Amino acid sequence: MNLIKEHPILEFHHARKVTFSFDGRSLEGYEGEPIASALHANKIRIYRETPKTKRPRGFFCAIGKCSSCFMTVDGVPNVRICVTPLKAGMVVQSQKGNGSVPWSEPEAQKEGDGLA
Amino acid sequence: MEWQKTADAVVIGGGMMGTCTAYHLAKLGMKNVVLVEKKTVASGATGRCGAAFRAQWGSRLNIEMGKRCIDKFEHMQEETGMDIGLYQNGYLMIGYTEKEVEIFRESVALQNSMGVPSRMIDHDEARAICPGINVDDALGFSYYERDGQADPFLCNIAHQEAAKRLGVKFQKFTEVTGLKVAGGRIKGVVTSRGEIDAPVVVSAAGAWNRHIGDMAGIDFPVVGERHEALITEAVDFDVCPTMLMSFVGDYYIQQRPNGTIIAGCGPNAYTKADHDPEVMGNSWGFLERTAQVLLKVLPRTRNIGITHQWSGMYDLTPDLQPCIGETDEIKGLWLNVSGCRGFMFGAVAGELVAQMIIRGSSDLDISDFHWRRYAQGKKFKDLMVV
């Protein structure tokens, strides 16, 4: 994983390492840190494709406001991954267009899945 | 915009009702029409409305108006030269009581007799029209597929631009502060930016019409009532592909083709904020109540984010019906108020009022919409109202 390890002001205390899936790939990240942080650490920069012009979008405002990082997480579209904490076993998918709404309630994540 | 001191007609209000009135006055040949607007076009009720139109009404005159308004929307791009975001997704009326379903049934029969092929449908068809809907607790439905939606801002601006091309002057950020009256005739308006002399003045000020009436000592029977609405972020256009509306359920929900979902309800469905009902603003009560309705009627909306909410003023009349016509007291002073459907009826009402002003009569007799009915102890009856 490609994360900043030393910083002149901040100190980093990571929680446990968990696995999650990104577009079918199994990746690792730290539980409770933003999904975007985990993706960035795995060198993934493109999160979605815009509805009209099909342009790539990635990390931008980092405070849950700008809509740039919308992804489909556990079947739910338009999740702001910059402010959504990573959980073990999460299914994270690139979002194409507006995002489709699931026809049934996505299955709740089972605790303990995807432990690293 | 250069100030002109005289006009053939002054229209007060730049919403759909006023803008269409000005447009049709000019289209019928009036040379010097000035529209005066306190803020900007679509800044009142039009730009805050539910963005839909229907022919599913419960009285002959409203059905005829609805039919004509659908025709107007279908030809608005042609007429004005601008895309207006038209999408005819139909209205699905949802009834929760025997009485409400009976009103739908009687209204559909009346609509059918007037050439509107609306129909009663059953639960299975309702679910087929709007997959994912929860109508287990509903008792009956009516549906008409030519009812639909359009973008209120685009419709309003399309008419503004078309009116400008015909020579109509739009004086914005100009507030009417008085009416000039002499010898039982209207002589013009006094505004925050000066006076305009005109033999015809049309008050199309929506919820604020009463203030205009007061300036001439006339009781325009209109009060403002704050209604709220919200809109969600965009998702695929399959969550609410038709307009859902219920009077007893007190809600409307529809999805725009861009994927956003608009929902709203009346002010009595939730605990209101404690400020003046004539002041616009937002309330937690509305947000909570509408979120609950969305979750119940469309369970698929569960994880869809709400991006903003707003409110607007319904132009409430005593029988919730239009009040349109020339005042009996002051010749040349007209009232054009829709009774909470200005976006919907604006294009038709504007044309009919323009015809009456210029020709003395209109294609469709709308004398039943004159508010002198209240003085006569009558009310215009139509139960298909919000």
| ipTM attached to this prediction | 0.80
Whether A51 and B259 lie within 8 Å, measured CB to CB? yes
- Residue A85 falls inside a structural domain: yes
Interface touch A100/B303, C-beta < 8 Å = no
Residues of A in contact with B302 (CB under 8 A): 105
Q: Using a CB-CB distance cutoff of 8 angstroms, which residues of chain A are in contact with residue B300?
A: 101-103
Chain A residue with CA closest to B236: the answer is: A100
The answer as to whether A102 is a domain residue is no
For residue B374, give the DSSP letter: H
Architecture of the domain made up of B91-144+225-314: 2-Layer Sandwich (3.30)
What is the CATH classification number for the domain harbouring A62? 3.10.20.440
| Share above pLDDT 70 across residues of chain A, in percent, rounded to a whole number | 89
Digit-coded pLDDT (tens) for B313-367: 999 999 999 999 999 999 999 999 999 999 999 999 999 999 999 999 999 999 9
- How many other CB atoms sit within 10 Å of the CB of residue B166? 17
| A103 vs B132, B304, B305: nearest CB | B132
Sheet holding A56-57, edge to edge: A56-57, A48-49, A95-96
Q: Identify the bridge partners of residue B119 per DSSP, sorted by sequence position.
A: B143
Residue A11, domain member (yes or no): no
- Chain B residue numbers with beta carbons less than 8 Å from the beta carbon of A97 are 236
Question: How much is the pLDDT for B17?
Answer: 98
Q: Which two tokens stand for residue B25?
A: 């006055």
pTM: 0.91
CA-closest candidate to residue B119, choices B107, B130, B137, B127 = B107
Chain A: residues touching B (Cβ < 8 Å): 51, 67, 76-78, 97-103, 105
Judge whether B323 and B380 are in contact, CB under 8 Å: no
**Which residue ranges make up each domain of chain B?**
1-89+147-222+317-386, 91-144+225-314
DSSP three-state, residue B269:
coil
Q: Is B142 within 8 Å of B119 (Cβ atoms)?
A: yes
Tokens 């939730």 — which residue? B270
Domain count within chain A: 1
CA distance linking residue B57 with residue B374, whole number of Å: 21
Whole-number pLDDT of residue B191: 98
- The token pair at B49 is 């409305």
Tell me what percent of chain A is helix, strand and coil, each rounded to the nearest 5. Answer: 5, 30, 65
Contacting residues for A104 by C-beta, under 8 A, at least 6 apart: none
* Domain-embedded: residue A111: no
Tell me if A100 is assigned to some domain. no
In the numeric block, which tokens belong to residue B296? 């119940």
What are the pLDDT digits (tens) for A19-71? 999 999 999 999 999 999 999 999 999 999 999 999 999 999 999 999 999 99
Question: Which homologous superfamily is B1-89+147-222+317-386 in?
Answer: FAD/NAD(P)-binding domain (3.50.50.60)
Q: Name B247's Cβ contacts closer than 8 Å, sequence gap at least 6.
A: B100, B103, B383, B384, B385, B386
Mean pLDDT of B216-228: 94
Under DSSP, the state recorded for B105 is H
Task: Looking at the complex, report in whole angstroms how far the Cα of residue A38 sits from the nearest Cα belonging to chain B.
Answer: 23
Q: Is residue A43 part of a domain?
A: yes
Q: Is the pLDDT of residue B278 over 80?
A: no
Identify residues of B whose CB sits under 8 angstroms from chain A CBs.
132, 233-239, 259, 299-305
CB B212 within 8 A of CB B186: no
pLDDT at residue A107 is higher than 60 = no
Amino acid at position B324, single letter: I
For residue A102, give every residue at least 6 positions away whose Cβ sits within 8 Å of its Cβ, in sequence order, or none.
Answer: A75, A76, B300
CA Rg, chain A, in Å?
A: 14
In a domain, A108, yes or no: no
**Could you give the CA distance from residue B292 to residue B311 in angstroms, rounded to a whole number?**
18
A57 in Cβ contact with A49 (< 8 Å): yes
pLDDT in tens, B73-105: 999 999 999 999 999 999 999 999 999 999 999
For residue B240, give the chain A residue with the closest CA.
Answer: A101
Taking the C-alpha atoms of residue B35 and residue A79, their distance in angstroms, rounded to an integer, is 46
- Where in the sequence is the domain holding A50, given as residue range(s)? 17-95
- Nearest-CA distance B232 → chain A (Å): 11
The verdict on residue A60 lying in a domain is: yes
